[in-house]
Structure 1
Amino acid sequence: MTYTYHYHSPLGGITLSSNGTELAGLWFDGQKYFGDTLPKEYEEKSLPVFEQAVRWLDIYFSGRAPGFTPPLLMKTTPFRKMVWDIMLAIPFGKTMTYGEIADKIARKKGRSKMSAQAVGGAVGHNSISLIIPCHRVVGTNGSLTGYAGGIDRKVQLLTLEKADMASFFVPKKERLESGPF
């Protein structure tokens, strides 16, 4: 059985999902790919894993690094899991580029090169947002692009983490899609 729980964040509603013991999903309500790992039938219920996730979110939205990770269930492909594991290692307030992640995976696989676009697809389909911090992944040129929760939220999250925003910019195309800040 899959269970859900709803959390009210300063940046909008968040839906969490679990198999009963591990967190399997965390999406801003209405984000791209919302609920992509949710089955058609699920039950809203309070669970210890949701209590842990809420504690994590409360600490995070207070502007501090939580210092722990609730148990996670990554329902995904082996390639995406590799990308998500790398994202889990990006420290609070820091960023990494799609290209840097691609280079790490290429080295792990013994290849000379890996597609940054393939990494982008894996980052975009992250079903446990925030905890697996896809908002910390940026373009090589400093472009703040490709956040399923919306570019405005990406900016707000990085600002909350006190990330150095001096070299980042929102591409004109993204600005038109997400609207003004």
Structure 2
Amino acid sequence: MEKFVHLDAVALPIAQSNFDTDQILPARYLQKPRSDDFGTYLFRDLRYRADGTENEHFVLNAPAYRPARIVVANENFACGSSREHAVWALFDYGVRAVIAPSVGDIFASNASKNGLLIVLLPAQDVAAIIRKLEAQPGLHVSVDLDAQIVSTPDGVSHHFDIDPYQKRCLQDGLDELGYTLTQLDRIEAFERDYAY
């Protein structure tokens, strides 16, 4: 996994609440192998019409938002059915952080296992950021994982909490197995001390 320390990037506003995993990645793409670029399927039914042409009214199709690496969404983002593929679609597109008041529990678990940072902020703070992003398409948001701060160019900052284990894994670019291997000396010492 990639290390995550600090990210300053274009942020994509999603003002809709209860934006579910089927909107992030339609179910028909779940049978695709992981080697596929799931970023091409991100928000597929919203980004494209049935005839395959781009829907110019969907926010990600606006040129200023196309390079987005951060999603700022309203409450209950990525709710609905369990699909790790939704995280893959965001990650493969280039998104490295999701900022929202709340996200689906299973999505949050899948995100942390795949290197996608979830930042939970109060609803009024997220709403204020979304308003700024809608008013200034292409606006950057900064996420500092070390300091646990989200900030906007106008100098407004928001502190966020994160589980220390998840923070370490993101900072060091470790998945669960990678983290376990960092503890190998302790594991082997335990096995020696408690051998049957």
Give the TM-score, by structure 1 length: 0.31
Relative contact order (alpha carbons < 8 A, sep ≥ 6): 1 or 2 greater?
2
Rg larger in 1 or in 2? 2
